[in-house]
Structure 1
Amino acid sequence: MKMLQTGLHEIETAEELQKIISENEKVMVCCGRMGPMCIPVYEAMEELEEERDDVKFYSMAFDNPEAHVIRNAPETQGFMGLPFTMYYKNGKVVHATSSIQSMEQITAILDEKLK
């Protein structure tokens, strides 16, 4: 049951998230809601998905109970604003951001952390 209306593949379970990050070298997951801080991030990810074959882009609904794996991650401690965005490389979190991110900010993180 998709909770978010984005063009991205939506992760529905913690188990699915684990499978995705273990099977793909580079993964970006945006955990949020359909709100003004989150939508620009989803839109940037949808655009980047077409340009970057090496990175897998996913969304996850913040209010999904299964999203506890992102909400309660050590990397998101102290985060206040949605979305919580996680960047994984080789199955490990390499970066996490909170709140709205511009296309430039996202691209810089992808280039630096997932190179």
Structure 2
Amino acid sequence: MKMLQTNLHEIETATELEKMIQENENVMVCCGRMGPMCMPVYDVMEELEDERDDVKFAVMAFDNPEAAIIRNAPETNGFMGLPFTMYYKNGKVAHATSSIQNMQQVASILDEQFAEKV
């Protein structure tokens, strides 16, 4: 049952999230609601999904009990504003942000966290 009306892949269980993180080198998951702080981030992700083959994009409903895996993560401790956005690299949390993010901010984090280390 999809809770978020986006064109992005929606994760429904913590197990599904773990599987995605393990199977993909670079993962961005936005955990939020259908609200004014979250919608712009979903839009940015939808736009970037077409450009960034190296990143797996997904959303997760903040109010889903299974989203506790993100809500209660040490990296989100103290976050106040939705959405909570997690960036995973090689199965581990690489970065986390809260609140609204624009295209430039998200692209900058993706470049910084997911760049090929030479």
What range is the shorter-chain TM-score in? over 0.9
SS in 2 for 1:63: coil
TM norm structure 2: 0.97
Aligned equivalents of 1:53, 1:104: Cα separation in 2: 18
2-side partners of 1:108 and 1:53: how far apart? 16
Partners of 1:63 and 1:4 lie apart in 2 by 11
Q: Structure 1, residues 9-40: CA drift from partner, whole Å, max 9, x if none?
A: 00000000000000000000000000000000
Cα root mean square deviation, aligned? 0.3
Partner Cα distance (2:22, 2:51) in 1: 22
- SS, match of residue 108 in structure 1: helix
Q: CA deviation at 1:88?
A: 0.2
Alignment TM-score, normalising by the size of structure 1: 1.00
Query: For residues 97 and 7 of structure 2, what CA distance do their matches in structure 1 show?
Result: 21
Residues 1-115 of structure 1: pairs in structure 2 closer than 5 A: 1-115=1-115
> CA offset at residue 114 of structure 1?
1.1
Q: How many residues align?
A: 115
Give the aligned residue type for 1:73.
Answer: A
- Percent identity reads 79
Q: Aligned equivalents of 1:90 and 1:66: distance in 2?
A: 22
For residues 82 and 6 of structure 1, the distance between their equivalents in structure 2, rounded to whole angstroms, comes to 16
Distance 1:43 1:102 in 2: 9
